[in-house]
Structure 1
Amino acid sequence: MYAILLDTPRDAEVCIRNLHVAAGADVRLLGIDQRLQWRNSGDDLIIHLPAPLADSPAHALRMPLPT
């Protein structure tokens, strides 16, 4: 599954509401060859973004389908 972030987030973390992924899931930012740190918080997914994140009209996150 992919999530598209429009514009470049200014915060170090993004929240995707009402999305929960399994423990140990591989969450990645396309174009970056590393796993991202993330956590489930209630019904939401919090993803820590790498810094610095280049300015772009959009960024794409790849993650497994929710559990």
Structure 2
Amino acid sequence: MHALTCADCSNGPGTGFRTLSDGLFECHAGHLLTPQDVDLDGQHVWAVEPSGPAHWGTPPAPPAPWTY
């Protein structure tokens, strides 16, 4: 997973979004992002760590069906 970073801030440490209690994401500079604003292609998803940081990445592949 990769940190979901703010496009308005420079890349690097401290530019990631954290999750607020109202479900919005906020960077260290106060820029806000809604879950609907996260525009990823169909192969990627976003997720939030229990401690708050938001990330994006490729979900794990589903298990193969059983064959006999």
Structure showing the higher helix proportion among its residues: 2
Indicate the structure whose relative CO is greater, using CA pairs within 8 Å and at least 6 residues apart.
Answer: 1
Structure showing the higher strand proportion among its residues: 1
Give the TM-score normalised by structure 2: 0.28
Structure with bigger gyration radius: 2
Give the TM-score normalised by structure 1: 0.28
